[in-house]
Amino acid sequence: MPKPYPREFRDDVVRVARDREAGVTVEQIAKDFGVHPMTLFKWLRQADIDADAKPGTAGS
């Protein structure tokens, strides 16, 4: 099993994805940071849940 990414790294990538300019895709940001696009989509979804923006269970 791969080693989990540090929390600070995940938070930074999510911030960049949220603040991206028009025309920049989540897939491109994932590629730039060396993570799989689905991983970044999961991080974004979890960040929404953690911020109570979406229903779900808060994670770590």
Q: What is the DSSP string of 2-51?
A: PPPPPHHHHHHHHHHHHTPPTT--HHHHHHHHT--HHHHHHHHHHHHHHT
- Decide if 56 is inside a domain: no
- Decide if 36 is inside a domain: yes
- Decide if 2 is inside a domain: no
Per-residue pLDDT of the chain (60 residues; tens, 9 = 90+): 667 899 999 999 999 999 999 999 999 999 999 999 999 999 999 999 888 766 666 665
Q: In the chain, how many domains are there?
A: 1
- Decide if 31 is inside a domain: yes
Domain span at 25 = 7-50
Using a 10 angstrom Cβ sphere, with 0-12 exposed, 13-18 middle and 19 or more buried, the burial of residue 53 is exposed
- Decide if 42 is inside a domain: yes
Q: How much is the pLDDT for 3? A: 73
